[in-house]
Structure 1
């Protein structure tokens, strides 16, 4: 696989400056020094310690979006993945944080950041300023043997140091206490990241060669600057991957990487961080797996769970897990780690908004499952169950086999889910047929099929088919008793019921282009073979037809691609017609 090299803003200098200005636009309490790439909060609390952090750009919302009341006083940005200069940092300390009760620099453990922030600290001290530095390195991707004198890398867990210490500084705590708390938090913090690919930096050549990962590979222990991880694994599903990550974070037997003991009765904070390119939907799924594996394998039920985008690697297609062991701060009531995490703030990047009282009293689990038992309608009509099953099975099998080209069609002119949606519904119905679900009463059977479609077939097609089947049930129930089931007349009558809920008609380029002629033919008493031919003709007529409904309306040219839903109807009809032969 390959990470995209396309960007909306390809000039990295312009990109960084524009992003800095956006922070000011979206949080009017902040100011931006563009020349020095500093975002700062002009505080009117000179008796408080000023927290300053920073590093290379590309990790947003870190660090600039954590500037604001209750967190950082200022953040200094370098270019993408590069440390800010000593001059920038010195200007931030001396000119932008204002009068204060000291300055605490919170720096991630990367050589450039440590050297530049360290030199700026010494210059500030030489000028008489009270400045302390805390270096955060909580990564376990690189163990003791490899990290050597350099130590562990700083990762997303640094944000927890920002939040806790920023809240403490807002109470008027001393520089000594604030720095000591930062050290305490950092020492009880571990983080590990995993990614599906390395990222592309705007304005650079596209990355090629062995550094790229193939379609089945996952890189564990990847850093936030495109660094290689500690290992590559193939074909791991999310549960296995999370287990492996948690072992590196918590397993006492791994003497090279075990930095924290899982003590009985210990309390924890969990942060699942998006490296920038994972969808919120997938982040939700990942977070659920992490929480469940922590409980199952380590008996850890975190006191706070944060899931979202806190520290990225541009559009990195990965995530990291951070665990903070809660330790007594020794600072008294209201200054414990959880209270400081829950403290109010006004920043763009720290998004958690669940109150402490809610964490203390979570909603109870559902007391009992909802009784969704349906009352199945019946009739006096009698059909041949074996013939019904045989005919429907042929149509469903044809539809399932057609999934690849239906998906290809819908990928070209829609959102790509038509084939899979129809296949999913068809498989559900086929299972119903194979497990003896067909009754002699057609009303009972069709109603059960309609419920299955509701549950298994999503999207527009699923809704239309389910509505039609329910309308067919009503039409059959309303029909006079007879020795034969009036399929044709009821099918046509049900089409009228469907028409109440959709504006689609033949000529609109939808599944109705095939469904209507098929049902009209059946209503006229024609056999399945003839009706299927009408369905195919209707489906083929959609080639080149201008769409009037659905997502395809927004596409300028559909070319010779037919409507996938209409083709699906034709395939299903032709399958049933083969059963009649």
Structure 2
């Protein structure tokens, strides 16, 4: 091992390295006294309305963790001395004084006793001060098996970076502390890692004597990132080493290390991490060998391959392999684990900058025909309805929308972009076409899903998105009411489902009653139907709601910016168009 250093003083080394981050990233600040790097509050980057993600640990693992402070990742990182945890007081000061606390704080640490105790103590102090805080502990190292790990469990190594990225992207999207914490734990529970090194590292300022040094031709498998011994020492070449490492990660017959079960069908993310002293050229060869063996020996083709320097052991002459088994976050489009990993991040240490679309082009898993077949497959329910009556009512409502297109277009020309009427007409005509050509069904959920799919493809813009979200939520709400045996759909069930889908829509748009949007027609309809059970009364309420938007000051949409007073004499186009549809629908039920 090399014992020569440009900065041999460990205290000066840590402090100057932390300060350098503020020089290379103008959005970062440093609290030198407590070795905390944090995002600088600025009016142009309002990140106060999101969960603050905090991490940290001993120095020497750069870019982890201070290098991951920035938008899309951490709000702050607290550093200890080299290979030693920061103190609870350092962390407490960070939690209480250096990060926004309005939406809570999620602390993510690796499973080392000092880190767990000190970060845990600080979290409890923060809670006692009134801060909503949670802590997630990552132990991904399979170099430590169950027997050896005992109550302490596995150490945390480079897989932690994937957990940070997933949680950081989710926090950046504004999700709650509960969601961020849950998804962080989900990722942590589904990642395994193992490292290997040709040599121990030398810590600046420490003795040059090394006990139990590796032989010239020995490789330590499972070596920790603090010079901790691994699981075994072997003499082999790169293919043999990778084979051994993957066995420790994936062999289900090894009861001591089978922490997750990865099958050929699972989507996975591979992280090949440089421990600090391997050349970029050699890392390329290592990455190729890992991918080749994963595919050849296990049938696993990672959908993401990240390779580079993510978590080091100073200048460690080694690398680690991490494999994340992708799980469903349950948060919908845009918030899957892969999308969260791909999401942009502006942090000095995050170097994986490939967009989702680029990955999709290079890693197509199924032929397009199969993808379309899977996407179009209908999932039946036991909720039945009168197909003939529904078709008649829908046809009447859709035709009324088409007839109202000139008025809607006129209103939208005055207060908007002038495209609302054409958009509604296009959607209405596409649904009418679907009603004529699609295979008949008496399944209410399938019927609504077909309409939602048509809307998604035929209507663009804000209105199209709102209607698509609402209809998909309506299908989900109806499915929740589906019994084990066939049951007839009645007005009460429709009303309940409409209430649920309206509430779901509210999670995606800030539009509320009185904001001069289509919500001013939708809410009266849903509320009146729930109270009266009468579609005609509900439609009349929607019409009245749309009419009341005349003169209503807009809070959303282009109308907010429209000058003059002409907008005061016309209703909101979206509300008017929806009311016309609902009136036609009610007339079709007579």
The whole-number CA distance in structure 2 between the counterparts of 1:279 and 1:17 is 26
C-alpha deviations, 1:428-450, integer Å up to 9, x for none?
Answer: xxxxxxxxxxxxxxxxxxxxxxx
1:320 alignment partner in structure 2: 320
Displacement of 1:282 in angstroms is 0.5
Displacement of 1:166 in angstroms is 0.3
2:258 alignment partner in structure 1: 258
Displacement of 1:205 in angstroms is 1.2
| RMSD over equivalenced CA pairs, Å | 1.1
In structure 1, the residue corresponding to 2:34 is in which secondary structure?
coil
Displacement of 1:207 in angstroms is 2.6
Conservation of the 8 A alpha-carbon contact between 2:303 and 2:363: no
Conservation of the 8 A alpha-carbon contact between 1:42 and 1:98: no
Displacement of 1:46 in angstroms is 1.7
CA 1:363 to 1:63, structure 2 compared with 1: closer, same or farther past 3 Å? closer
1:298 correspondence with 2:295? no
2:274 alignment partner in structure 1: 274
1:186 correspondence with 2:184? no
1:35 to 33, 45, 56: 33
Unaligned runs of 5+ in 1: 365-581
> What is the 5 A alignment of 1:150-229?
150-209=152-211, 211-229=212-230
The whole-number CA distance in structure 2 between the counterparts of 1:363 and 1:292 is 15
2:109 to 91, 99, 107: 107
Tell me the TM-score normalized by structure 2.
0.60
In structure 2, the residue corresponding to 1:173 is in which secondary structure?
coil
1:96 alignment partner in structure 2: 98
Tell me the TM-score normalized by structure 1.
0.61
The whole-number CA distance in structure 2 between the counterparts of 1:361 and 1:125 is 46
Conservation of the 8 A alpha-carbon contact between 1:274 and 1:318: yes
**Looking at CA atoms only, which structure, 1 or 2, has the larger radius of gyration?**
1
Displacement of 1:363 in angstroms is 8.9
1:414 alignment partner in structure 2: none
CA 1:239 to 1:91, structure 2 compared with 1: closer, same or farther past 3 Å? same
The whole-number CA distance in structure 1 between the counterparts of 2:355 and 2:181 is 27
C-alpha deviations, 1:468-495, integer Å up to 9, x for none?
Answer: xxxxxxxxxxxxxxxxxxxxxxxxxxxx
C-alpha deviations, 1:148-195, integer Å up to 9, x for none?
Answer: 000000000000011010000011100001000011000000000000
1:58 to 32, 57, 60: 60
1:117 alignment partner in structure 2: 119
Conservation of the 8 A alpha-carbon contact between 2:264 and 2:300: no
The whole-number CA distance in structure 2 between the counterparts of 1:101 and 1:128 is 12
> What is the 5 A alignment of 1:389-538?
none
The whole-number CA distance in structure 2 between the counterparts of 1:205 and 1:107 is 28
Displacement of 1:42 in angstroms is 2.6
1:540 alignment partner in structure 2: none
The whole-number CA distance in structure 1 between the counterparts of 2:309 and 2:4 is 21
Unaligned runs of 5+ in 2: 365-590
The whole-number CA distance in structure 2 between the counterparts of 1:226 and 1:237 is 22
Conservation of the 8 A alpha-carbon contact between 2:329 and 2:337: yes
1:354 alignment partner in structure 2: 354
Displacement of 1:68 in angstroms is 0.1
Number of aligned residues: 360
Displacement of 1:40 in angstroms is 0.2
The whole-number CA distance in structure 2 between the counterparts of 1:275 and 1:269 is 19
1:14 to 12, 15, 27: 12
The whole-number CA distance in structure 2 between the counterparts of 1:171 and 1:354 is 19
The whole-number CA distance in structure 1 between the counterparts of 2:230 and 2:158 is 15
Displacement of 1:344 in angstroms is 1.1
Displacement of 1:275 in angstroms is 0.3
The whole-number CA distance in structure 2 between the counterparts of 1:264 and 1:285 is 24
Structure 1 runs of 4+ aligned residues shifted over 4 Å read none
Conservation of the 8 A alpha-carbon contact between 1:105 and 1:134: yes
